Every structure is written in structure tokens, then in C-alpha cells.
């Protein structure tokens, strides 16, 4: 079983976000970058498939040179090799452009499975997986929490509103991962040492260059402006006798906030 | 009239989902501004059942793709049908609820159309010169981006509960037009075969207008009953922090936050939840937030509209009782 896992290099979820001088992107100074959380689940699941069925796990990322650090991190977890489609402009490109760049690296691998995260921190869009599936002409199952593989077919379980949707399909296929029951493993010291020697290929985007996409019709999608969420001025604090506090709370919710 | 707004409807068991009505209502507002029509695409055997309701909320035409095999979700077929409908109606904007289905179908349809897709919008505007602009939460809710696109069409999903449902008086039923799925069932390589429902038909946190969540402050799974009781009294759904989901007290379907569900209910009540950044990512766009926590310094109080400093074991049952008393007295 050959599995390609797409991992995105993103700001740590603990990072405090400040708006950059252009007003449309974040100020990255001092921000730690990591593998996007759902992509870590995807790597963990890929390693488990390889452990059970044999095969190879190949990591692919698209973006700036620094994304090599996240690829090394994934190699340290246990993946076999990695490919970076390197172009810093891809970090700010729309999902279709990023998916095209990823497709260029994934296609020649002819994998049995392609794994992505349900969505990537930052854009928080969750578009790249389904788009990549369309570009690669693969069936896909999105936001999957559990996957069963058989000879040439799969069953995927995804949580939807009020139920679990069970999908059946044929391989090869693309799966985007939700959180699963398997906490992503830590890289061991041995893993980290081994990762330094594993192959990490760097290539340039060809047809999917962001410049090309910005060509005659300009970008497909523009981030015009970035704002911090309206600081929710910590509201009213109620304290004291529990009976009185509750009565006052319910009165406020009914008369002031009008939500009950 | 070319260049209208197309909405993908979600019909389950002959019922329209509320977020679909939010999308149709929003489409009607945009269409009135732009001076165009609203088409709705519905898939599955009950595709035309809800025509009257769709009409009352703003649909002019219903494209009914009523093949039996589309009762359950088939990603390639749904995306293919939506892209085809967008082409046929020359849609300028394609909307769907930002549900599990909408967020899965629209990107794939967008790829077929080489079009832009705006995910999970909190607000949307469309101008006559073809620009669609939206406001959305990014960086796990830590920033808000204004994004715009001018492809034809522009696709967008709308965050459930962020847009109002608006029924209009005096509207005629929409014209029902049969619509053929461009993909034959035997060409589909993946499809849903069944839905597994939790034992009790519970309200889902992502759709509920009121969510009551419990965290580690509850001390043990048995105390989650307090949260259920308050949720029942308020008519809301039960949510949870990751700490208690990881501890196995409640299933992951209830988790709110970065690695759980993102919710925007009218009322969010956090009980014994500290307010870690990853939890806030999932609920800070709620309209009204109540926090109940014994630690006055807990970060959750910084986002709460009403903060109750106290012991949840005392406050939560009294809160439920007071709500029940109020509802009983009308
Ligand atoms: C990549 C990543 C993703 C994550 N995703 C999520 C996510 O999706 N959702 C999520 O919730 N978390 C997520 N987390 C975890 C998050 O960082 C916190 O660990 C978690 O939210 C804490 O849960 P809690 O508030 O229930 O517990 P705690 O932080 O332990 O807080 C318990 C609170 O209860 C209060 N309390 C205790 N006893 C009482 C009492 N008797 N009465 C009233 N109050 C009381 C305490 O004062 C405290 O504030 C994620 C973390 C990471 C690293
Ligand atoms: N630049 C990228 N490099 C590698 N993988 C990516 C990239 N962008 C998106 N992905 C993959 O697509 C998923 C969804 O990302 P997004 O559509 O940005 O929310 C991520 O979890 C990754 O698996």
C-alpha cells in the first residue's frame, strides 16, 4: 500500500495572532510553525496502515522552504520520504492553486491512498482535499474518523450532524482526516536521527505556479483584509449568593440578551 | 433570466435542514439586490417534496434530481450534479449550508468549474460587477478575514446559525424542473451506504441554537447528567471540551473547538471549562456566551458576556430549575 500524506506547515495553534503591516496577513515574527493538527492524524493513520499492510508513506507539502522542517518532523514520526513543491507564494495561494501544486507531486507517485487533513490551520477552509481528489480523478471521503481497508475497497466512517455516515468505495482514493482515536505519535530520538538521512526532494511548481494563476484574471480569491475578532469585552461578572446569581442570570438572558 | 443564484438543498428523510433554509433566505436577499432569480437543486427521492417550503423562503425554481440512489450522499455524483446545474443555470453565485455535506461537495464542484469557493462564511455580499465578498473566521477563530472572489460562478458555504431564516408572505410555489444527474450510479466510485445514529436522537451541537458544554470541572462522567439536564431545560444540545472527550466521558461528536466542531449558537453556556485557545476557536463566534467557573481568573471569562463565578455543582442545577420554572409560567 503506497500512501501519500499532504501536510501543511502552519502556525502553532497556541500562537497569538497579530495582524501584519499589510493588513491582510499575519505578522509571523516569533511564531512557531508546526504540522497542521489534522495532518498529524493523517500521518499517524498512514503509519498504521503501513504497519498493518506494508508499503510506503510519502509526505508532500507545498509552500515555502521552511516547510522542510514540518516534513522532517513527519519523517521523524516514521514516514519514508518527502517531497516539497517549493514556492513561498503557494502559502498565500487559493486552495485550487495549492491543490494543483500538490497534484503535480502526487500524480507521479500513483498512490493507492492520498491522505489530507479535514482542514488546515490558517485558512481553515477544508477545500484542498476534495479539490485534489477531483484533480487526480479519485473518489474521496471527507472528515473521516475511521477507515477500514480491504483488497481494492474501503469503508470510511465520518461524523455528520447527529449521525455517523458510512461510505464504501474503491481504491485508489483520497481521504481527509478528522480527529481519530489514535493520538499522533511523538517522534523518538531515534526517529529524529533517522529522519535526517531520509530523502526529501524539492521541486518547483510547473503548471500550477501562483504567478500563472494571477495571470490575466488576477487571483481567484483575495484576502482583502484581516482583523482581530471584536474583543469580546468580558461582560458582566455575577458573584455571590447562588440563588440570587442564578435569578439575575436568567433575568439578563431573557430581558437583556433575549435568548431564552 | 441568466445569472441567478443557485442553492444546494439538503433534504434528509423528506425534511429540509434548517441551514438550507438559511441559505435559501440569504440567496433571496442577494437575488433581490442583484435583480436575479433563485434556483434550488435538490437530490434524492424526496427532492420535490419540499417545494412549497423552499418557495416560501425565496426559491423561484426547483431543480429536482430525484433518483432513488441519491438518497444517501455520493460525493462525485453530488459535486457533478451541482457543477452541471451551475453551468446550466449560468449561476453567478452558488450557495450551500456549511454542513458536513456542503463543505464536502462545494470544493469538489468548484474544482470542476475552476471557480473560487469561500468556506464557512459569517457574512456575504455580492455586487453587480460580479464580486462576491465574505467575512470568515481564520487561524482557528483568532482572526477574521474579508475575502473576495470574482470567478463565474463564486461558490460559498454559510456557517449554520450565522444567517437568519426568513419566510416571505405571498410567494408562489417554485416551478419544479426535473434534473438528471450527469453521473450514472455504476460510474460512482464511492457512496454512503448507511447512517448510524446514536441511540437517542440528539440535537447536534453544530446546528443547535443553544449549546450547553461541560469540561473537566465536572470531575467525572456521571456528572455530565447535570449538563444534559440544563441543555434539556433550555432546549439545547450538549457540548464538551476536548479534555473530557479524551477522557472518554462523552463521544467526540460533542467536542467543541479546534479539533471538534465550530459552533455559532445564539446562546453558549460553558460549565467548568477553562477557555483554552483551542476551545475558544470553536465557540467564540456564539452570539451570547455564559461561563460558569469557580476560578475568577479563568480565560473563559474574557469572552463571556455573562460570567458566573461559582461552583457549577451548585449553579447548574439551580439554573436548570429556574429555566424550567420560567418556561412553565410562560
Ligand atoms: C492541537 C490541539 C487541539 C485541541 N483542540 C481542542 C478542542 O477542539 N476543544 C477543546 O475544548 N480543547 C482542545 N484542545 C485542548 C485545550 O488546550 C484544553 O486542554 C482543553 O480545552 C481543556 O479542557 P477543560 O477546559 O475542560 O479543562 P481544564 O482546562 O482543566 O479546565 C477545567 C475548568 O473547570 C473549572 N472548575 C473546576 N471545578 C469547578 C467547579 N466545581 N465549578 C466550576 N468550575 C470548576 C476550573 O476552574 C477550570 O477552569 C486542543 C489542544 C491542542 C494542543
Ligand atoms: N500547502 C499545502 N501543502 C500540503 N498540504 C496542504 C497544503 N494546503 C492544504 N493541504 C492539505 O489539505 C488539507 C486542507 O487544507 P485547507 O484546504 O487549506 O483547509 C490540509 O489539512 C492538508 O492535508
Q: B106-119: per-residue pLDDT in tens? A: 999 999 999 999 99
- Determine whether the interchain pair A143/B116 forms a contact, defined as Cβ–Cβ distance below 8 Å: no
Q: Is A129 in the pocket of ligand 2 (CB under 6 A)?
A: yes
What residues are paired with B126 via a beta bridge?
Answer: B132
Give B-chain residues touching A145 at CB under 8 angstroms: 252
**Per-residue DSSP letters for A139-186?**
-EEEEEEEEEEETTEEEEEEEETTEEEEEEEESSEEEEE---SSPPPP
Chain B nearest CA to A215, separation (Å): 14
Cα B29 versus chain centre, distance: 19
> Which grid coordinates are listed for B81?
450534479
Ligand 2 atom at shortest distance from the alpha carbon of A119: 19
Q: Where are the alpha helices (DSSP H) in A18-136?
A: 37-53, 67-77, 95-106, 128-135
Chain A nearest CA to B32, separation (Å): 25
**Mutation pick for ligand 1 pocket among B213, B215, B246 (CB with most ligand atoms within 8 Å):** B215
pLDDT band for position B200 (cuts 50, 70, 90):
low
The arithmetic mean of pLDDT across residues B47-71, rounded, is: 95
Pick the more confident residue, B6 or A233: B6
**What distances in angstroms separate CA B247 from CA A162, B259, B278, one per listed residue?**
21, 15, 17
- In the Cβ-directed half-sphere of B14, how many Cα atoms lie within 13 Å? 1
Window from A2-11, B13-22, B267-276 with minimum mean pLDDT:
B13-22
Window from B35-49, B82-96, B188-202, B260-274 with minimum mean pLDDT:
B188-202
Q: Is A127 in the pocket of ligand 2 (CB under 6 A)?
A: yes
What residues are paired with A11 via a beta bridge?
Answer: A33
Chain B nearest CA to A113, separation (Å): 14
Name which residue sits closest to atom 25 of ligand 1, judged by CA. Answer: B273
Q: Is A174 in the pocket of ligand 2 (CB under 6 A)?
A: no
- Determine whether the interchain pair B198/A162 forms a contact, defined as Cβ–Cβ distance below 8 Å: yes
Angle subtended at Cα B161 by Cα B157 and Cα B162, rounded to the nearest 5 degrees: 65
- Report DSSP state, residue A109: G
Strands B61-65 and B175-178: parallel
- Determine whether the interchain pair A247/B322 forms a contact, defined as Cβ–Cβ distance below 8 Å: yes
pLDDT digits (tens, 9 = 90+) for B228-253: 999 999 999 999 999 999 999 999 99
Q: Compute the mean pLDDT over every residue in chain B, rounded to the nearest whole number.
A: 94
Alpha-carbon gap, residue A135 to A100, rounded angstroms: 7
Contact A3, A56 (CB under 8 A): yes
pLDDT digits (tens, 9 = 90+) for B93-102: 999 999 999 9
- Determine whether the interchain pair A232/B303 forms a contact, defined as Cβ–Cβ distance below 8 Å: yes
Which residues between 97 and 156 in chain A have a beta carbon less than 8 angstroms from any beta carbon of chain B?
Answer: 99, 121-131, 133-135, 138-143, 145
CA-nearest residue to A172 within chain B is B189
> Which grid coordinates are listed for B320?
436548570
Alpha-carbon gap, residue A60 to A43, rounded angstroms: 11
Q: Which residues, other chains included, contact A190 with Cβ-Cβ below 8 Å and sequence gap of 6+?
A: none
Give A-chain residues touching B234 at CB under 8 angstroms: 260
CA of B259 to the centre of ligand 1 (A): 13
Block means of pLDDT (10 residues each) for chain A, 260 residues, are 97 91 92 96 98 97 97 98 95 92 97 97 93 98 97 96 94 97 95 97 81 50 89 84 96 94
Give B-chain residues touching A163 at CB under 8 angstroms: 195-198
- Judge whether A255 is closer than 8 Å to chain B, CB to CB: no
- Determine whether the interchain pair B207/A161 forms a contact, defined as Cβ–Cβ distance below 8 Å: yes
**Mutation pick for ligand 2 pocket among A116, A121, A223 (CB with most ligand atoms within 8 Å):** A116
The arithmetic mean of pLDDT across residues B205-212, rounded, is: 94
Q: Which residues, other chains included, contact B163 with Cβ-Cβ below 8 Å and sequence gap of 6+?
A: B22, B23, B25, B26
Q: Please check the confidence at residue B2 and state whether its pLDDT lies above 90.
A: no
How confident is the model at residue B62, as a pLDDT?
A: 98
Q: Is A119 in the pocket of ligand 2 (CB under 6 A)?
A: yes
Alpha-carbon gap, residue A178 to B259, rounded angstroms: 8
Instruction: Assign B141 to helix, strand or coil.
Output: coil
Residue with cell 437575488: B31
Pick the more confident residue, A210 or B269: B269
- Determine whether the interchain pair A250/B259 forms a contact, defined as Cβ–Cβ distance below 8 Å: no
Query: What percent of chain B is modeled with pLDDT above 70?
Result: 98
How many CB pairs below 8 A link A and B? 267
CA of B35 to the centre of ligand 2 (A): 37
Q: Is A180 in the pocket of ligand 2 (CB under 6 A)?
A: no
Q: Which bound ligand lies closest to the C-alpha atom of B300?
A: 1
Q: Is A95 in the pocket of ligand 2 (CB under 6 A)?
A: yes
Contact B301, B307 (CB under 8 A): yes
Contact A224, A24 (CB under 8 A): yes
**What distances in angstroms separate CA B282 from CA A231, A252, B255, B309, one per listed residue?**
16, 24, 9, 22
pLDDT digits (tens, 9 = 90+) for B301-325: 999 999 999 999 999 999 999 999 9
pLDDT digits (tens, 9 = 90+) for B122-165: 999 999 988 999 999 999 888 999 999 999 999 999 999 999 99
Name which residue sits closest to atom 51 of ligand 1, judged by CA. Answer: B278
CA-nearest residue to A165 within chain B is B195
CA-nearest residue to A235 within chain B is B305
| Ligand 1 first shell, C-beta below 6 A | A 13, 37; B 215-217, 241-244, 255-260, 272-274, 276, 278-279, 282, 292-295, 298, 311-313
Name which residue sits closest to atom 37 of ligand 1, judged by CA. Answer: B217
Phi first, then psi, for residue B246 (nearest 5°) are -60, -35
Name which residue sits closest to atom 6 of ligand 2, judged by CA. Answer: A8
| pTM score, whole prediction | 0.90
Q: Please check the confidence at residue B13 and state whether its pLDDT lies above 90.
A: no
**Cα R_g (chain B), whole angstroms:** 21
Q: Please check the confidence at residue B1 and state whether its pLDDT lies above 80.
A: no
Amino acid at each position: 500500500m503506497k500512501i501519500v500524506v499532504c501536510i501543511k506547515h502552519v502556525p502553532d495553534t497556541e500562537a497569538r495572532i497579530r495582524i501584519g503591516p499589510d493588513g491582510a496577513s499575519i505578522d509571523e515574527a516569533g511564531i512557531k510553525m508546526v504540522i497542521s493538527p489534522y495532518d498529524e492524524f493523517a500521518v499517524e493513520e498512514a503509519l498504521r496502515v503501513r504497519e498493518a499492510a506494508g508499503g510506503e508513506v510519502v509526505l508532500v507539502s507545498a509552500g515555502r522552504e521552511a516547510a522542510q522542517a514540518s516534513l522532517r518532523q513527519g519523517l521523524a514520526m516514521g514516514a519514508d520520504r518527502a517531497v516539497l513543491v517549493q514556492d513561498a507564494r503557494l502559502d498565500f495561494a487559493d486552495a485550487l492553486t495549492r491543490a494543483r501544486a500538490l497534484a503535480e507531486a502526487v500524480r507521479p507517485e500513483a498512490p493507492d491512498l492520498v491522505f489530507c487533513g479535514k482542514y488546515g490551520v490558517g485558512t481553515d477552509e477544508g477545500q484542498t482535499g476534495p479539490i485534489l481528489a477531483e484533480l487526480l480523478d479519485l473518489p474521496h471521503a471527507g472528515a473521516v474518523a475511521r477507515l477500514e481497508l480491504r483488497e481494492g475497497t474501503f469503508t470510511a466512517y465520518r461524523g455528520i450532524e447527529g449521525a455517523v455516515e458510512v461510505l464504501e468505495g474503491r481504491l485508489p482514493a483520497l481521504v481527509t482526516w478528522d480527529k481519530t482515536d489514535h493520538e499522533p505519535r511523538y517522534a523518538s530520538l531515534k526517529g529524529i536521527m533517522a529522519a535526517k538521512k531520509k530523502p526529501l526532494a524539492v521541486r518547483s511548481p510547473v503548471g500550477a505556479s501562483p504567478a500563472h494563476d494571477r495571470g490575466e484574471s488576477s487571483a481567484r480569491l483575495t484576502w482583502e483584509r484581516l482583523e482581530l475578532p471584536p474583543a469580546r469585552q468580558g461582560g458582566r461578572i455575577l458573584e455571590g449568593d447562588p440563588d440570587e446569581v442564578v435569578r439575575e442570570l436568567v433575568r439578563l438572558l431573557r430581558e437583556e440578551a433575549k435568548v431564552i | 433570466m441568466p445569472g441567478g443564484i443557485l442553492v444546494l438543498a439538503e433534504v434528509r428523510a423528506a425534511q429540509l435542514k434548517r441551514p438550507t433554509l438559511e441559505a435559501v433566505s440569504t440567496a433571496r436577499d442577494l437575488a433581490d439586490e442583484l435583480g436575479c432569480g433563485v434556483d434550488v437543486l435538490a437530490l434524492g427521492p424526496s427532492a420535490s417534496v419540499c417545494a412549497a417550503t423552499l418557495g416560501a423562503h425565496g426559491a423561484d425554481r426547483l431543480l429536482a434530481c430525484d433518483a432513488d440512489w441519491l438518497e444517501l450522499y455520493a460525493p462525485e455524483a453530488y459535486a457533478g450534479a451541482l457543477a452541471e446545474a451551475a453551468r446550466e443555470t449560468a449561476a453567478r453565485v452558488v450557495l450551500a449550508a456549511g454542513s458536513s455535506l456542503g463543505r464536502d461537495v462545494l470544493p469538489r464542484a468548484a474544482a470542476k468549474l475552476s471557480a473560487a469557493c469561500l468556506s464557512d462564511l459569517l457574512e456575504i455580499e455580492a455586487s453587480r460587477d460580479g464580486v462576491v465578498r465574505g467575512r470568515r473566521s481564520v487561524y482557528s477563530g483568532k482572526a477574521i478575514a474579508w475575502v473576495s472572489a470574482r470567478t463565474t460562478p463564486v461558490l460559498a458555504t454559510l456557517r449554520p446559525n450565522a444567517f437568519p431564516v426568513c419566510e416571505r408572505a405571498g410567494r408562489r410555489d417554485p416551478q419544479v424542473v426535473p434534473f438528471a444527474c450527469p453521473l450514472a450510479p455504476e460510474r460512482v466510485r464511492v457512496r454512503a451506504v448507511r447512517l448510524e445514529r446514536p441511540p437517542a436522537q440528539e440535537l447536534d451541537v453544530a446546528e443547535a441554537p443553544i449549546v450547553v458544554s461541560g469540561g473537566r470541572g465536572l470531575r467525572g462522567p456521571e456528572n455530565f447528567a447535570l449538563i444534559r439536564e440544563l441543555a434539556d431545560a433550555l432546549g439545547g444540545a450538549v457540548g464538551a471540551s476536548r479534555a473530557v472527550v479524551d477522557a472518554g466521558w462523552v463521544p467526540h461528536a460533542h467536542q467543541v473547538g479546534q479539533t471538534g466542531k465550530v459552533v455559532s449558537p445564539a446562546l453558549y453556556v460553558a460549565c467548568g471549562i477553562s477557555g483554552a485557545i483551542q476551545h475558544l476557536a470553536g465557540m467564540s463566534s456564539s452570539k451570547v456566551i455564559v461561563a460558569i467557573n469557580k476560578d475568577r481568573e479563568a480565560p473563559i471569562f474574557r469572552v463571556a458576556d455573562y460570567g458566573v463565578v461559582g461552583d457549577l455543582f451548585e449553579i447548574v442545577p439551580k439554573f436548570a430549575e429556574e429555566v424550567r420554572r420560567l418556561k412553565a409560567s410562560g
